[in-house]
Structure formats: structure tokens, C-alpha cells
Chains A and B, each alone.
Chain A
């Protein structure tokens, strides 16, 4: 690696240590700030999760008589356990849909034509839109009296009641909107992988008479599979943070059918002011996310650092 070679030093030893000192100085502010804004809050969260801290008496409830009380309570809290099931359903559905749609579009758009190139850019729009705007867009689409879709269905004599007010469909409506927002991520990653694919195996296989499906199944797909796995994990991690869509579309309802763990934690903290309990919920989510991040790391999404 070119940049691993150390520059020819004017005066070797002193220069080397001066250089190290300079770099350490450049790195230090970031590490200090990151320590202060990530590790310190994480530690505070952990401590808070051992207390019955709540808004009504923040000082008085800061004791450790029963440190695992919140966690014990979590195991008996049907609403919390339900929120995990909801989370898993939503995550599984939206990640699967995003991988499928993103992969399909990447394969469709992967060509040298100028139209396809322009379309590749336009398909990115949902991903960069402010999430709150995405939520507004789907609030409009899912609200019968203002939605063009509902009115069109009405016009052909097939009225459909609001999918976000219906307990059977609300979660799927959210998964659908989430997919609309995030399929470009998979699309981009797969397109990038397709571009880095060497041409030879494909040429060789087509000369050997492989058809399009065989080319895809035995050559293209194995090449992009690692990207799909990493992509799925990235989206899975992000799916635990789903918030604006749920906040605007359903507010966790109807009942609690769209109340994911993240949302339940939010309600416990900022509606009910049960800080200690909400901290325990956040710790559980944090543990899940870190496990997944570790998995992503293991799968080596960042090789150029290892070399």
C-alpha cells in the first residue's frame, strides 16, 4: 500500500516522533469528543438502567437498591415482549423487500444506456429525502379522503379503508413505506458490486453457451451475494431505529400493532417519564445493534483497512 511507506525523513529519529506527535494531536480532539458524546452517555444510560429514575423525582429515584429491577420487569412486560415481536416482523419484512426490490432494480438499471444512467440517479431520491417528508408523503397516500390511490379505488367501485388504521395491515403499510424509502441503498450497493465484477467469467460462460438465468445464478449472484448480506445487515441495524414513519403514520397503533421496541422506549421515556425503565429498553436495543455491528465487522465490509 503506497501510503503505508513512511516519507523519507529529513532527520530520521526526531522527525519520526515529531510526526507521530503531530498525528496524535490531530486525532485527539475527535477521540475526546467522541468519548464525551458516545461512551459517556452510554455509561450514563447503563447506570440509569439500574435505577427507577423518573421525571417526577429525578434526584430521589437515583438509587441502586434493586439494580436489575428494570430488566426483570422487562421480562414480564407483555407490551415490551410484543414490541420485540413487532420489531422482528417489521425488520424481516422491510429488509427482505428492500433486498428484493433493490436487487431487481440494480439488475435492470445496470447497463451502459444514458436513459438507465439518468434513472439510476433519479431512483436515489427517496433515500435522501428527509425522513419526515417521506412520512408525510405516505400519510397522504394512506389517508383515504386525500389519497389519490384511495380515490382511484373508490372510483372503480372498490373502496378500501385506511390501511394504517387497520390492525391487520398497519405494520405492512409501514414496511412498504420503509421499503420505498430505502430500496435505493441496496440498489446502489449492488450496482457498485456489478461494476466491479470482472468481465472474463461472463464472457467465458456465454461462449460456453450459458443462458441468462445461468449467468445470473452461477456467476453474477455469487459475486454480489456478500454485498447483499452486508446490505441486509446494514438495513437490519437501521430498521431498529425506525421512528418518523411510525410516529407520523400510526403513532404505534392501532392499539400497539406498530409499536416497535424503539418506539416503546420512546414512549416510556418521553410520554411516561420512566427514565430508568426506558434506559433498560435502550440498553437492550443497544446490545442488539452492537451484536449486529460486530457481525458486519466480522463479515469484513471494510477490507481496505485490513490490508
Chain B
């Protein structure tokens, strides 16, 4: 197997699997139809709770306890939300996630490249150590970080939170970018060396542009992981750097059960993630299952 084969397995969202190979016993049209119907029915069941939340966000507060789906959609929930502090925390989330993504890429991409091209002894141990850091439970990091941040003055700051997110995002960048770099043929780099480029010059001019889609996908994934975090933000922020997930829970606790606000908040928080998922679905899958499938 060449490295190109192993680095880029066909990914599960693009079809062509087993059922096709059963061609000799040609599946009847009806049977294929039956599978699709079953799949759509199950999809409806699985999506129902999710869609219910979204629909509550647009439901007038007065109709909230009605099951009728006939109502005039309103943006009151969103309006009430954005008049409070929620906008601030939404922007905090954006800032923290962007900063963490930028830092992870800046530090992690060169490391991934070095790990891909440089076969040094112990390389596998380094790669494994990096991956294992991602497995560590957040509770193990929060206690030391909480105490250290009090001392360093990083408590309740966007920078502090972005730094903590490196504990998982750096590993993702290094791990994922390796598979993208492995797919770039070394011949192009060799040509650049012969033309007098240094290692990093060749990387910057040749390899990185070729791996650009991979960088973009990795960035999106980092952003999502940082965006989705609740635990670290809950513990390491207080008022200034509160992120959107924590803000939702706060008004869930302190302002009683205002379902339309909660639903509106939930909808806003998941919006970027859902948009990104649609945009980079193909790469997202590889990121989420990175290293998971034997090839």
C-alpha cells in the first residue's frame, strides 16, 4: 500500500459500499426503497428533539405550552436574549474559539509537518503522547489551571481560556494535519530543494498551499471543539470572559425557566456549528474519527 492510499481512505459519507457488491442477486427496486423509507423514518425520530428545540425558539411565549404547530413565528425570544448579556458572551465565544484555533494552527501545523517528513527514532512515541493528551479528562486539567490562573491573573480572561483549549486542539491539529501532509507527494518538495529552497521555504511555498483544504478543515474542527466547550468555560470564567454555553446555563439557573430564551440561546449557539458542519462535512468526518479506523 502506498502512503497515499492509507492516508486518504474513502470516507463514509461518500457511497459505493457493500450493497453494490451484492450485484449478482440484484436488489429489487422495492427493497432499496424500503431501506430508504426506514432510514428516513428513523431520521425523523432522531431529529425530533433537535427540531423541537429550534421550533420553540420561534414560538411566541404565550403558545409555548401548546402542542399545535400552527403559530406565527416570532423573534421575541432572540430579541430578549440579545438585549441581555448574551450578545457579549456570544462574541466572547467567537473570540476564544478564533484565538484558540489560530494558536493551535500556528504551533501545531509545523509540528505535524515535521512528524510526517522526519522519521526520527521515537517518533511514534511522540505522536502517541500527543494523541493521549487529548484523552485526558478535563477535571485533571481544571484543578491545576484554576489555581495557576488565580496566581497568573489569567482567570476569567479570553486568552486564558484559549490557552486551555490548546490541551485538546493542539493534539487535533498535529494528528489531523499529519494525514493531510502524508497525501502531499514529496517529489514536489524535492524539486524545490534542488532549486535551493530550505525545508521551511519549500513547506511554505509548496506543501502548505497543497494542504490548504486540510488546514481549513482542521481549523473548522478546532473552532467547533473550542466553541462546544462547556466545562472549562464554566470553571475558568466568571463575568468578563463568559462564553455562550455558560451564559445559557446561567440564565437557566438564575432567571427561572424561560423556555423561549433557552431555546433561542440554544439555537444561536448551535448555528455556527451546524453551518460549518454542512460546509466541511467531508473533512469533519475524518477529523472526528481521526486515527479511529484501521486502514
Return the CB mask of A230-264 against B: 1 if under 8 Å, else 0.
11001001001101100110000000000000100
> B32–A5 contact, CB under 8 A?
no
Interface residue A293 (Cβ < 8 Å from any Cβ of B): yes
> B132–A248 contact, CB under 8 A?
no
Within 8 A of A (CB), among B31-57: 32, 35-36, 38-40, 42-43, 46-47, 49-50, 52-53, 56
> B18–A194 contact, CB under 8 A?
yes
In-complex Cβ contact of B12 among A20, A192, A270 (8 A)? A192
Interface residue B99 (Cβ < 8 Å from any Cβ of A): no
Q: Tell me which of B12, B35, B273 has the highest count of chain A C-beta atoms within 10 A of its own C-beta.
A: B12
> A185–B19 contact, CB under 8 A?
no
> B65–A275 contact, CB under 8 A?
no
Query: Nearest Cβ in chain A — how far from B117, in angstroms?
Result: 6
Query: Nearest Cβ in chain B — how far from A45, in angstroms?
Result: 5
Within 8 A of A (CB), among B52-90: 52-53, 56, 64-65, 67
Asked whether A124 and B285 contact (CB < 8 A) given A41-B140, A192-B9, the answer is yes
> A247–B249 contact, CB under 8 A?
yes
In-complex Cβ contact of A191 among B17, B174, B227 (8 A)? B17
Query: Nearest Cβ in chain A — how far from B163, in angstroms?
Result: 7
Interface residue A112 (Cβ < 8 Å from any Cβ of B): yes
In-complex Cβ contact of B140 among A152, A282, A302 (8 A)? A282
Asked whether A137 and B266 contact (CB < 8 A) given A1-B3, A192-B12, the answer is yes
Complexed CA–CA distance, A123 and B39 (Å): 10
Interface residue A132 (Cβ < 8 Å from any Cβ of B): yes
Return the CB mask of B143-176 against A: 1 if under 8 Å, else 0.
1111110000000000000011011001100100
Complexed CA–CA distance, A279 and B43 (Å): 42
Residues of B within 8 A of A285 (CB): 137, 139-140
Query: Nearest Cβ in chain A — how far from B185, in angstroms?
Result: 7
> B49–A122 contact, CB under 8 A?
no
Residues of B within 8 A of A111 (CB): 15, 17-20, 32, 35
> A119–B124 contact, CB under 8 A?
no
Cβ-closest chain A residue relative to B32: A113
Q: Tell me which of B143, B230, B234 has the highest count of chain A C-beta atoms within 10 A of its own C-beta.
A: B143
> B230–A110 contact, CB under 8 A?
no
Query: Nearest Cβ in chain B — how far from A285, in angstroms?
Result: 5
Asked whether A282 and B293 contact (CB < 8 A) given A108-B38, A136-B53, A203-B21, the answer is no
Return the CB mask of A186-198 against B: 1 if under 8 Å, else 0.
0011011111110
Interface residue B212 (Cβ < 8 Å from any Cβ of A): no
In-complex Cβ contact of A132 among B135, B249, B257, B291 (8 A)? B249
Query: Nearest Cβ in chain A — how far from B120, in angstroms?
Result: 7
> A137–B49 contact, CB under 8 A?
yes
Return the CB mask of B265-280 against A: 1 if under 8 Å, else 0.
1100110011001000
Interface residue A68 (Cβ < 8 Å from any Cβ of B): no
In-complex Cβ contact of A125 among B52, B277, B294 (8 A)? B277
Query: Nearest Cβ in chain B — how far from A56, in angstroms?
Result: 14
Residues of B within 8 A of A78 (CB): none
Binds B, one of A26-34, A69-77, A92-100, A165-173: A26-34
Asked whether A196 and B35 contact (CB < 8 A) given A122-B47, A123-B43, A126-B50, the answer is no
> A117–B15 contact, CB under 8 A?
yes
Interface residue B205 (Cβ < 8 Å from any Cβ of A): no
Residues of A within 8 A of B131 (CB): 302
Interface residue B114 (Cβ < 8 Å from any Cβ of A): yes
Q: Tell me which of A41, A151, A303 has the highest count of chain B C-beta atoms within 10 A of its own C-beta.
A: A41
Interface residue A80 (Cβ < 8 Å from any Cβ of B): no
Asked whether A141 and B49 contact (CB < 8 A) given A38-B167, A115-B40, A120-B12, the answer is yes
Residues of B within 8 A of A41 (CB): 140-141, 144-145, 148
Residues of B within 8 A of A214 (CB): none
Complexed CA–CA distance, A141 and B110 (Å): 46
Return the CB mask of A78-110 against B: 1 if under 8 Å, else 0.
000000000000000000000000000100111
Asked whether A289 and B142 contact (CB < 8 A) given A131-B228, A141-B49, the answer is no
Query: Nearest Cβ in chain B — how far from A52, in angstroms?
Result: 14
Return the CB mask of A283-303 against B: 1 if under 8 Å, else 0.
101100110110001001111
Interface residue B28 (Cβ < 8 Å from any Cβ of A): no
Complexed CA–CA distance, A109 and B36 (Å): 8
| 8 intermolecular pairs with C-beta atoms under 8 Å apart | A8-B194, A23-B120, A48-B143, A112-B16, A113-B15, A117-B13, A133-B266, A136-B263
Taking Cβ atoms with an 8 Å cutoff, the residues of B that contact A are 2-4, 6-7, 9-22, 24-25, 32, 35-36, 38-40, 42-43, 46-47, 49-50, 52-53, 56, 64-65, 67, 107-108, 110-111, 113-120, 124, 126-133, 135-148, 163-164, 166-167, 170-171, 174, 182, 185-186, 189-190, 193-194, 196, 198-200, 224, 227-228, 230-231, 234-235, 245, 248-249, 252, 257, 259, 262-263, 265-266, 269-270, 273-274, 277, 281, 284-285, 288-289, 291-295
Taking Cβ atoms with an 8 Å cutoff, the residues of A that contact B are 1-5, 7-10, 15, 18-20, 22-24, 26-27, 29-31, 33-34, 37-38, 40-42, 44-45, 48, 58, 105, 108-113, 115-117, 119-133, 136-138, 140-141, 143, 145-146, 148, 151-152, 180, 185, 188-189, 191-197, 199, 202-203, 206-207, 220, 226-227, 230-231, 234, 237, 240-241, 243-244, 247-248, 262, 265-266, 269-270, 275, 278-279, 281-283, 285-286, 289-290, 292-293, 297, 300-307
Closest 6 CB pairs of A and B: A191-B12, A30-B111, A26-B110, A41-B144, A22-B199, A199-B21
